[in-house]
Structure 1
């Protein structure tokens, strides 16, 4: 239990510690989402196997259209019922990462499809095999298209970590609720919580805007 603090500093200290967990969850989920999302989009782009493409599409639709809390509950409570117990932090990272991978796979797919087919054909005509052409010609250009949406996803992910309080992950909102229960400083606790979210999201937003401007100039 968190002892009832009676000052802004006393409230801010546990929230700041929880912010570290929020960053860890966000970073871990972001890596899972980007790596898996790119893998899914690449397979879907390269493969001619109808069954594999259909399987990927089903995966994407399930994770995009089922509420996020449902996936988190299945990972944390459902797997524990089946005998596989995940820690709340692990379930949070894996759950948000899987959910994000479905969205990012569509972002990457749009980036891959934006590369003109003629450029790939030119690479093949110069002796490249399809994988080498994909790696050297398609991927770099797809990244440029996908980068701004990926950055926006990263900001949204930080805010979405508040969902994992439902499975007991000790992030900012989970800690804020405990502080309210123990201190009764409802307004102050949530104002400080909002300030911490702004403090972590604003630098990312400014960075994304800078990248978007540089990409626009380079085009």
Structure 2
């Protein structure tokens, strides 16, 4: 089960990186001056947020296989979780960017900075303290949602617990141990959220 816990952390880590990158691209896409790009990003976000993670996982693993594109279970789980949480992370990025005073962007462009440089050097750095706590909350939720990957036999903690429970007929003991292991993995992240929220509040008070 310790090996399976390591695979769970690996799955969550890879999916988180994928979600964070795609989420940022979606957030920037929603700010595009091209209506087609902005509208497509908004449709994607609403579509993903309005459908269950399990449905998206089955579409990627079973649906694509029926079309001849076979993706291994671990990679399919990473892809499904990453694409799912990208929609939520995009909203986190969007709210963080929107919280930065518009005068910052106007001042940057007044001194000749392009939109790209303004976003990279002025807007995004100021939004980081605001987006870190909810982004860490997303990491906790994603870590727990890796359990759905057991339904496609992806190697992770819940699948191993199910296998052992079937083999040794000790469901109560094994699922209690599984819950404790999830707690041990997630609790440090919860502490991180509390710390980041404290830092963000202190920064806002100091700025005020």
CA distance in 1, matches of 2:25, 2:82: 13
**Structure 1 segment 1-219 matched on structure 2, within 5 A:** 15-45=1-31, 47-219=32-204
Shift of 1:203: 1.0
User: Could you tell me how far 1:37 is from its partner in structure 2?
Assistant: 0.1
| Counterpart position of 1:12 | none
1:116-156 deviation line (CA, Å, top 9, x unaligned): 11111111112212211111111111222111100001011
Query: For residues 202 and 45 of structure 2, what CA distance do their matches in structure 1 show?
Result: 33
- Greater Rg by CA: 1
What is the alpha-carbon root mean square deviation over aligned residues?
0.9
TM superposition score normalised by structure 2: 0.95
Q: TM-score, normalised by structure 1?
A: 0.91
Question: Highest relative contact order (Cα 8 Å, sep 6+), 1 or 2?
Answer: 1
Gapped regions of structure 1 (runs ≥ 5) = 1-14
The corresponding residue for 1:10 is none
Question: Aligned residues, how many?
Answer: 204
Per-residue deviation, 1:32: 0.5
Q: What's the counterpart of residue 5 of structure 1? A: none
Q: Secondary structure at the match of 1:84?
A: coil
